[in-house]
Structure 1
Amino acid sequence: MPKEKAVSSKIYVLDTNILLHEPLAFLSFKENDVVVPMTVLEELDYIKDSKKDVARDARVSIRAMEDLLHDATPEELMQGVSMLGKGAGESAPTGSLSIFVDHGMPESQQVFTSNENDNRIINSALYLQKSLQSKQVVLVTKDINMRLKAKGAGLAHVEDYRTDQLITDIKYLSKGYHQFSGNFWDEVKSVDSRTEGRDTIHSIERKVLPEAYVNEFLLDDSQSFAGLVETVTADHLEVLDLGYERLMGRRAWGITPKNIGQAMGLHALLDPHIDLVILTGPAGSGKTLLALAAALEMVVERNMYDKIIVTRSTPEIAESIGFLPGTEEEKMAPWLAAITDSLEVLHKNDENVKGSMSYIMEKANIQFKSVNFMRGRSIQNAIVILDESQNLTASQLKTIITRCGEGTKLICSGNLAQIDSNYLSAVTSGLTYIVEKFKNFSGSATINLDGVVRSRLAEFAEEQL
């Protein structure tokens, strides 16, 4: 049992899903003590050898804890081993990490007598709460039902893991654009405009939009102005005048935008200075179609890149890809049907649709890859389309982003309302994380496509169901 300290720190009891969501989460509690029940170690041990997509995260967490605890005696392990020196900056941990043996607890100390793992972890937290009455014991879990059970069993403090959450509600997520009510120029008191080649750049006061960030689009309700924030200083914003009609007139691989959201997305996708484009929005808003059309335009028509790599991750891939026949690309085909569907749409008016698709896939060197096999690669001079990225954690997305070498453009698309992972929600998804983390990076742009253009049926379903 962890030693009781005189200082007013807390004791955090971690559930397994916290360490699967962020393997080094036990280092994120600053001056507070962390307790990992033996049941959690058993669950990690089972998961690390499984074919689940979180097996690697389990192994990383186990290795990190072993690195910290390998010199500790059994007594020190139960009392708590200091985590001092295991982190950097203000958030570096100064508390201790201990292992709580929850197997030998007498039944009189157990609220739940059934041997389910969740119940044993809750019993551990309740036992610590009763034994260390002067300390605040907090159970941290991403399992909503487990939080309800713990509260109902008498645990005073139960929390979700929020250390990696940059926003508290998905409605606060950056959309990539700001819409002014009325006319944009009514908001501007002073402006200094200049011409650079064909471009007109306006320098306006920062107070017009204090929260502006680089590559944020500016629109107004009168549809008379469309601009892009190019530079942000302490007092001024440099805004590139795009022109509403010119923006709507963008074209890629034979398609034109159906709404202003798609127009902004297409502009960002075709901009060679932007290395990361993040497209969010509901099903049917055109994320995959726009990404593919822009990729084909830049690879085939403009020869700006050498190839297109299409990848995605779903919880089933790690377990199910093996039994499918054929090469890796053939195995991936069922999960990447969205891409082939979009290719059919782009070439539906051709005389021989299948022939056109085969020709373009060879001409653009389109490759289908599983995200599980992206680790360790260095991708040069390519366009990488990462589809369904809402199902990835921040650490998984970091693995993919860091694969991108010189001259590579990454397009991440996803719908935060369609998360399949058991360990993620809209606010903890890696997609949400990178939207907020990269919004001030001059080499990235985020666009939220909020209009469903697939069909009136899809639009009605998105609004009403």
Structure 2
Amino acid sequence: MEQDDRKLFVLDTNVLLHEPLAIYSFKEHDVVIPMTVLEELDQIKDRKSDVSRDARVAIRALEDTLGGDTTPEQIINGVPLPSREGHADAIGSLSIFPDHLVDFTLGALPGDGNDNRIINTALHLQNLHHPRTVVLVTKDINMRLKAKGAGIQLVEDYRTDQLIDDIRFLSKGFYQFQGNFWEHLNKVSTERHGRHTIHEVPLKDLDNEPFYINQYLIDTESDFCGRVTERSDTHLHILDLGRERLKNLEAWGVKPKNVYQGMALQALLDPDIDLVILTGPAGCGKTLLAMAAALELVVERNRYDKVIVTRNTPEIAESIGFLPGTEEEKMMPWLAAITDTLEVLHKNDVNPTGSLNYIMDKANIQFKSINFMRGRSIQNSIVLLDECQNLTASQIKTMITRMGEGTKLICCGNLAQIDSNYLTAVTSGLTYIVERFKDFEGSANLYLNGVVRSRLAEYAEEHL
């Protein structure tokens, strides 16, 4: 490949924090790390925060490439990336650009801000290597706008872990047939397996859709509701659930208010499903259903030993240490949504406060910070991960890999309420796991249509 055909990718710090091994994601092209990025990684690696680990992993990856007998001249000119398992196509080079030694003048942004220095580096390299393609890669939306305004021709988001281009194409976990489901079919084979009824349906009679395991099926006219249990090249095996039966499900006194909540509750109560992902607008019942199912499974059915509740908030790493009390007490301000839900579940009791304290103890409900979940192996528990739209793919992978034998993980999130500066609906870790776990027989994903919190919340969701 000619030198001019190989692109030059300039990486921002947030790319390496999002994916510490991002230097291996650019195939035959070359990667440049400005010195300012190293300085930012150095400041972050010692913080008491979740991203500090990612900073250290990124620094070690850079050391593996640039360490040893490499001379300063080679580091500036570019060192070939070493071979790494799973990254055989990464055959470009890695270099460090000493932006602190360059006097940026022509078209440069003013000031010594780190973002401006990185933009000025990309602009300098674009002028220096013309006509070679230089691309600035950053997760910061505002920085992309500034870079475009400063004259950088190509500015991109880091999209290696992005599985869809439009959030409208994200799987909802169910498929709705128009009309009556049974009218689509020419031949159906039905069998009884204990209490369950399984229909074997020819794929050629159904809509041309990529059906997947544990996807729910409903229609617009009949009482039909089913869940895909198996798929072959020619047939679907569908567990018959029935819309009315779903609406009559109950967990800790809570009954579904619509068929979507019914499907979600069925997945939450199914012992064969280890991961349940609930998405949907504010007020659709995600947290309420998850807590009701957790209490039902722990207290009434004795299937699990405890409930662990955790969530991510952007400022939690810096703020939690300054609050008084134990870890649970420190976490309470961020987990008020959970305690509010528990109060709703027991508001009609004679002594709601007493009931709440009794259930907290009986169900062994524990509030944990996500920062202290690394290295744990959680056994025979229900783990509720709330507000996980703010997690990156690597962070949510860390959480899922903590789950041990006999543990059920419930992930709840609303992709319209992302607080992170570097995440969008299509790059959120929540979107990532919805797509990645579609074909896993131990997981189910449900988008809860409809706001049931109140008519005020419903109107706000539709009109604001």
TM-score, scaled to structure 2: 0.96
Q: Distance in 2 between matches of 1:47 and 1:334?
A: 25
Displacement after TM superposition at 1:151 (Å): 1.9
Asked whether 1:334 is paired with 2:316, we answer no
Could you tell me which amino acid in structure 2 is paired with residue 22 of structure 1?
Answer: E
Aligned residues: 461
- Aligned partners of 1:13 and 1:138 also within 8 Å: yes
Aligned sequence identity (%): 67
Correspondence for 1:85: 83
Q: Distance in 2 between matches of 1:108 and 1:402?
A: 49
Helix, strand or coil: the match of 1:319?
Answer: helix
Could you tell me which amino acid in structure 2 is paired with residue 154 of structure 1?
Answer: G
Correspondence for 2:6: 9
Q: Distance in 1 between matches of 2:425 and 2:154?
A: 23
Helix, strand or coil: the match of 1:320?
Answer: helix
Could you tell me which amino acid in structure 2 is paired with residue 421 of structure 1?
Answer: S
Q: Distance in 2 between matches of 1:326 and 1:408?
A: 28
Correspondence for 1:94: 91
Alignment of 1:163-242 (within 5 A): 163-207=160-204, 208-209=206-207, 210-242=209-241
Helix, strand or coil: the match of 2:136?
Answer: strand
Q: Distance in 2 between matches of 1:333 and 1:154?
A: 47
Q: Distance in 2 between matches of 1:282 and 1:243?
A: 25
- Aligned partners of 1:9 and 1:33 also within 8 Å: yes
Asked whether 1:27 is paired with 2:24, we answer yes
Alignment of 1:412-451 (within 5 A): 412-451=411-450
Displacement after TM superposition at 1:53 (Å): 3.8
Helix, strand or coil: the match of 1:446?
Answer: strand
Q: Distance in 1 between matches of 2:92 and 2:432?
A: 27
Helix, strand or coil: the match of 2:33?
Answer: strand
Distance 1:5 1:74, change over 3 A: farther
Distance 1:107 1:277, change over 3 A: closer
Q: Distance in 2 between matches of 1:121 and 1:144?
A: 14
Displacement after TM superposition at 1:462 (Å): 1.2
- Aligned partners of 1:195 and 1:201 also within 8 Å: yes
Correspondence for 2:457: 458
Asked whether 1:138 is paired with 2:135, we answer yes
Task: For residues 375-430 of structure 1, give each alpha carbon's deviation from its aligned partner in whole angstroms, at most 9, with x where no partner exists.
Answer: 11111111011111111111111111111111000001011111111221111111
Q: Distance in 2 between matches of 1:107 and 1:314?
A: 37
Displacement after TM superposition at 1:158 (Å): 1.2
Task: For residues 271-323 of structure 1, give each alpha carbon's deviation from its aligned partner in whole angstroms, at most 9, with x where no partner exists.
Answer: 00000000011111111110010011111111111111111121121111112
Task: For residues 310-359 of structure 1, give each alpha carbon's deviation from its aligned partner in whole angstroms, at most 9, with x where no partner exists.
Answer: 11121121111112121111111111111111111111111000101111
- Aligned partners of 2:104 and 2:120 also within 8 Å: no
Task: For residues 24-56 of structure 1, give each alpha carbon's deviation from its aligned partner in whole angstroms, at most 9, with x where no partner exists.
Answer: 111111111111111111111122233444222
Could you tell me which amino acid in structure 1 is paired with residue 263 of structure 2?
Answer: M
Aligned pair partner of 1:120 in 111, 117, 120: 117
Correspondence for 1:272: 271
Displacement after TM superposition at 1:17 (Å): 1.4
Could you tell me which amino acid in structure 1 is paired with residue 368 of structure 2?
Answer: K
Correspondence for 1:398: 397
Q: Distance in 1 between matches of 2:422 and 2:383?
A: 25
- Aligned partners of 2:104 and 2:124 also within 8 Å: no
Could you tell me which amino acid in structure 2 is paired with residue 391 of structure 1?
Answer: N
Helix, strand or coil: the match of 1:103?
Answer: helix
Alignment of 1:217-366 (within 5 A): 217-366=216-365
Helix, strand or coil: the match of 1:29?
Answer: coil
- Aligned partners of 1:87 and 1:93 also within 8 Å: no
Helix, strand or coil: the match of 2:5?
Answer: coil
Helix, strand or coil: the match of 2:99?
Answer: coil
Displacement after TM superposition at 1:84 (Å): 3.8
Q: Distance in 1 between matches of 2:78 and 2:222?
A: 62
Q: Distance in 1 between matches of 2:251 and 2:435?
A: 28
Over aligned residue pairs, what C-alpha RMSD do you find?
A: 1.5
Distance 1:89 1:236, change over 3 A: farther
- Aligned partners of 1:49 and 1:55 also within 8 Å: yes
Displacement after TM superposition at 1:58 (Å): 1.6
Correspondence for 1:380: 379
Could you tell me which amino acid in structure 2 is paired with residue 279 of structure 1?
Answer: L
Aligned pair partner of 1:74 in 69, 72, 75: 72
Q: Distance in 1 between matches of 2:371 and 2:105?
A: 46
Correspondence for 1:57: 54
